[in-house]
């Protein structure tokens, strides 16, 4: 072999090594960056966040963190790239998120899950009764939010602290759904008939519903799926006027008109990510694009969380241990092997 060929061969090897090193350092996590998740407090969001954090940490050697806060502040932080991933973004619900999308600061990636719903509910025994528990129907004709202004219905849901009004159990303050349900109370002209009660946390919301249900008491509240509550209890969603874009545009804006209310739109739930992060971390975006949780698996995991009084971290680890057939296709073979090894 000639000296010239040796030099060229050595140069090619150096160039290949350099390219390989550059490729490795080009990964977001390989550069030592921390992937910060929104510390979502509701059950499904907390569970999914923990699963995705563990996948990135154990499978892709990422440093991960979860930043606490309410949905409004966390969405704004995602727009500012102080947070990179909001694991359960209900698209079209938040004025802050919509503005950030219009400004190109955030993107919706993949589908966190499919088939979610939300609305205003009452326990089924309020309408149908419960013969086994000796509960007679309390409002057998109740079907729609339009009936909630009826004095008899208002009295049925009497607020214990302001007995001249009924009580509507809203989302905790700072959640996007709290602002929307508050706007609906105004639009349906129910704000003068009902106390807009906001529990301090998602846990407090669940506790109030569970307590009322187990005691057979009437309760009117906002709720959504997927949740353990929807799987455990029989709940009936009240009808609302049909959704329209024009109505929703006003209802979902903090300064919108409150002239008419309408049903929640069909729900698309995605991973909300910062746009700069999306450009810098294609290997992570590839995971998120595939990571769709089956709704029954989410409900099952949340029921396990509730029944065993464990937190989202524990349930996420159990999910990874027992549901590799679900999450395995989301990741590379190498990442799957590393995750499974970490769980032994």
Cα torsion at 147, 148, 152, 155 (round to 10°)? 170
Query: How many other CB atoms sit within 10 Å of the CB of residue 333?
Result: 8
Looking at every residue in the chain, the average pLDDT score rounds to 91
Q: Do domains 29-114+268-342 and 117-251 have the same CATH topology?
A: yes
Please, which residues bridge with residue 113 across strands? 269, 293
**pLDDT for 8:** 40
Q: What's the CATH number for 29-114+268-342? A: 3.40.190.10
C-beta separation of 49 from 293 below 8 A = no
pLDDT tens-digit series, residues 143-191: 999 999 999 999 999 999 999 999 999 999 888 899 999 999 999 999 9
CATH code that applies to domain 117-251: 3.40.190.100
pLDDT of residue 337: 97
pTM above 0.85, yes or no: no
**Per-residue pLDDT, 115:** 85
Domain map (residue ranges) of the chain: 29-114+268-342, 117-251
Cβ partners under 8 Å of residue 317, min gap 6 = 54, 343
Question: Which tokens belong to 248?
Answer: 């929703």
Q: Residue 77 contacts by C-beta under 8 Å, 6 or more apart in sequence? A: 38, 67, 69, 83
Q: Which residues of the chain have pLDDT under 50?
A: 1-25
What pLDDT, on a 0 to 100 scale, did the predictor assign at position 232?
82
Residue pair 191/168 in contact (Cβ under 8 Å)? The answer is no
């Amino acid at each position: 072999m000639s000296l010239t060929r040796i030099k060229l061969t050595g140069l090619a090897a150096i160039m290949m090594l350099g390219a390989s090193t550059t490729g490795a350092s080009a990964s977001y996590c390989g550069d030592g960056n921390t992937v910060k998740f929104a510390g979502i407090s509701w059950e499904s969001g907390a569970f999914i966040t923990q699963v995705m954090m563990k996948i990135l940490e154990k499978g892709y050697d990422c440093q991960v963190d979860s930043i606490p806060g309410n949905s409004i502040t966390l969405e704004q932080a995602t727009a500012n790239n102080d947070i990179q991933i909001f694991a359960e973004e209900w698209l079209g619900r938040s004025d802050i998120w919509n503005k950030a999308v219009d400004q190109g600061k955030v993107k919706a990636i993949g589908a966190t899950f499919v088939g979610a719903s939300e609305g205003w509910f009452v326990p089924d025994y309020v309408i149908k009764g419960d013969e086994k528990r000796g509960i007679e129907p309390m409002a057998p004709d109740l079907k729609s939010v339009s009936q909630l202004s009826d004095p008899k219905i208002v009295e049925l849901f009497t607020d214990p602290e302001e007995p001249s009004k009924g009580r509507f159990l809203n989302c905790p303050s700072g959640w996007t759904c709290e602002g929307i349900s508050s706007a609906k109370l105004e639009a349906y002209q129910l704000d003068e008939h009902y106390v807009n009660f906001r529990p301090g946390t998602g846990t407090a919301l669940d506790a109030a519903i569970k307590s009322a249900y187990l005691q057979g008491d009437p309760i009117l509240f906002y709720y959504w799926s997927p949740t353990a509550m929807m799987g455990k209890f029989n709940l009936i969603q009240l009808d609302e006027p049909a959704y329209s874009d024009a109505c929703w545009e006003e209802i979902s804006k903090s300064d919108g008109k409150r002239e008419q209310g309408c049903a929640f739109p069909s729900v698309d739930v995605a991973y909300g990510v910062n746009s700069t992060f999306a450009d810098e971390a294609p290997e992570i975006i590839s995971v998120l694009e595939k990571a769709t949780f089956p709704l029954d698996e989410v409900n099952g995991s949340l029921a396990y969380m509730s029944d065993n009084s464990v937190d989202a971290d524990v349930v996420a680890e159990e999910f990874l241990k027992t549901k590799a057939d679900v999450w395995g296709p989301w990741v590379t073979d190498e990442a799957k092997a590393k995750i499974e090894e970490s769980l032994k």
